[in-house]
Amino acid sequence: MADYLGFDTSNYRTSCAVYGDNIAHNRKLLEVKPGKVGLRQNDAVFLHTRQLPIVFSELFASSNLNYNNIKAVAAAAYPTSRPNSYMPCFLAGLSLAKNISTLLSVPFYGFSHQQGHIMAALYSCNRLDLIDKEFIAFHVSGGTTECLLVKPDTEILSVTKLSGSLDINAGQLIDRVGVNMGLKFPAGEQLEKIALGGTNTFKIKTALKTGNCCLSGVENKCYDMLKTHSNQTVARYLFEYIGYTLCDMLEYAENLVGGYLPIVFSGGVMANSIIKGIIQKRFDCNFASAEFSGDNALGIAILCAHKYGGFKNC
């Protein structure tokens, strides 16, 4: 038996997972006080420190896993693979992963949170075959709105940013508007239910600057719209705007790389059915399942298996 253990402690969720002969994962959202739209990094680190033992023990207890079968351990050690990419919240998972690695006398590997998202998306949409190919990936969440060129190399997934947001991210926009409506953070799932009952009556005109989007203006527009329009109408407009913006970013990326490449969407925002529907009308794409769109450690565990040499391309 051979299993590979992964940790991810993002600014939103504590997560651990095993991939190999067994596949299992467990995760828990970080608690955000009512009316707030996120956490300070020191608060996130504290909450992860408190939640990690619970999430980890629950994973092994519920899945009947054996510590003796762990061949390697990995963690999301930084947000992206770019130089100087750093967030303190990842130190919680990184510390525990290194300690377990030492205790079990097995290798430790560090990957980026973004690489984990992409790998989880490949797994959940049955496209692990792309790990040895070039493709376009989107990472759309509360912390990131980026279009990426992914190539195979010694780091497994070599990620180059093609474009992104010049101000706030798509997930931030959704949460801010949702909390403004009185919803609980994170607001995406609740706001989608509201939007599905509405119809957008506004013309959408996106604006890109060399492939990069700007979303803070949309936030202000939504607040103005709420003065005279229903929550359903505003929510629908918001998700449609994000959907059309991502389409325009993808069109820019395809022109930039000089043709068609496989396309994969990852990140919590991409669980939204309205956004996905808009993109699917224009492009042939692969989407992470709703279960693995949000922050999770399974992608890190799969990367760990691949790095060790125990990867199963299935």
pLDDT at 314 over 60: no
d(CA 137, CA 145): 11
CATH of range 170-287; options 2.30.30.50, 3.40.630.40, 3.40.50.2300, 3.30.420.40: 3.30.420.40
Query: What pLDDT shows up at residue 233?
Result: 96
For 152-157, what is the mean pLDDT? 83
Assess contact for 235 and 226: CB atoms under 8 A. no
pLDDT confidence tier of residue 50, bands split at 50, 70 and 90:
very high
d(CA 255, CA 306): 32
Query: What pLDDT shows up at residue 207?
Result: 87
Assess contact for 39 and 32: CB atoms under 8 A. yes
Query: What pLDDT shows up at residue 106?
Result: 98
For 160-203, the pLDDT digits (tens) are: 999 999 999 999 999 999 999 999 999 999 999 999 999 888 88
Q: Please indicate whether the domains covering 3-125+294-308 and 170-287 agree at the CATH topology level.
A: yes
pLDDT confidence tier of residue 111, bands split at 50, 70 and 90:
very high
Q: What is the CATH number of domain 3-125+294-308?
A: 3.30.420.40
For 245-273, what is the mean pLDDT? 96
For 124-132, what is the mean pLDDT? 95
Q: Is 190 left (phi over 0), alpha (psi -120 to 50) or beta?
A: alpha
Q: Where are the domains of the chain?
A: 3-125+294-308, 170-287
Neighbour count for residue 103 (Cβ, 10 Å): 11
For 264-279, what is the mean pLDDT? 97
d(CA 198, CA 68): 53
What percent of the chain is modeled with pLDDT above 70? 98
pLDDT confidence tier of residue 312, bands split at 50, 70 and 90:
low
